[in-house]
Amino acid sequence: MLIKNYKNTFFQELSPLYEEKEVESFFYLVLESFHRKKRIDLALYPEMEMDALQLLRWESVLVELKKHKPIQYILGETEFFGLPFLVNENVLIPRPETEELVDLILSNIRISELPNLLKILDIGTGSGCIPIALKKNLPNAEVYAIDVSEKALATAQKNAELNTVAVQFMLKNILETVDLEQQFDIIVSNPPYVQNLEKAEINPNVLEYEPHLALFVEDHDALLFYRKITELAKKNLNPNGKLYFEINQYLGKETVVLIERFGFKNVTLIKDIYGNDRMISAVL
């Protein structure tokens, strides 16, 4: 079958469930994953065909997409900060907003003209996207990462190997940690911050498939992880060390106040590309 002909079927099947741009994105992600071809290739070579086995794989993708399973989990891969990452139901799918967090850290390091010989810790690493992207861009940095999930850390280790970087991963429940037992120049975290009351706003593909352990906090203590991580950062950051968070857009001011109470300076609330309060940087 010609791939261009199957494209029509693909769109017809998914258009009742997704917006056209999203279906188009799905189509070209599968095209690249299954055939190693891009949009331009299909335009230049419209007679490209798929065999019966490839057709079955495309059909299986359709079935999963109709269940609202994220395309990244279906394909088992995604891209973050220009790097390839393996993903599965044990880790969150990396978001563009988190790419902004990585970019913020790298920009601040360049602006301050700090040497690359830094010691960096990522707390709640999931797929390992933050520490791996940082290590790739700061090859001389010493990078560590913590997660409470063994399965998440196994995926993160594979991603470090995939991207040929050395990150030291540690299995640890941060809420039960009294001291990190070493000092760091930078501590960064994108911890669980979605309140249960926000579930009504969340798409089914996120709510039904992504790990709730990495997403949700109880409504009565939504800043639980921020408080604990800031407390540890107070002990385990070097003088003038930096603390970075990705945050709940609805709790920006509250998170700033919390961090300031621990004595941090220059606590800055930063918006993402969509205009939402999304990141905080602070200096010890």
List the pLDDT tens digit at each of the 284 positions of the chain.
899 999 999 999 999 999 999 999 999 999 999 999 999 999 898 899 999 999 999 999 999 999 999 999 999 999 999 999 999 999 999 999 999 999 999 999 876 656 558 999 999 999 999 999 999 999 989 999 999 999 999 999 999 999 999 999 999 998 899 999 899 999 999 987 665 555 556 666 665 655 655 555 666 678 989 999 999 999 999 999 999 999 998 899 999 999 999 999 999 999 999 999 999 999 99
Q: Is 118 helix (H, G, I), strand (E, B) or coil?
A: coil
* Residues sharing a CB contact under 8 Å with residue 66, sequence separation 6 or more, in sequence order: 13, 14, 17
- Supply the DSSP symbol for 116: S
Domain locations along the chain: 3-66, 89-283
pTM of the predicted model as reported, rounded to 2 decimal places: 0.88
Cβ–Cβ < 8 Å for 242, 273: no
Residue 34, SS3?
Answer: helix
Q: How many residues does the chain have?
A: 284
Residue 267: what pLDDT?
97
Query: What single-letter DSSP state applies at residue 123?
Result: E
Q: Under CATH, which number does the domain 89-283 receive? A: 3.40.50.150
83: helix, strand or coil: strand
Classify residue 115 by burial, with Cβ atoms within 10 Å: 0-12, 13-18, 19+.
exposed
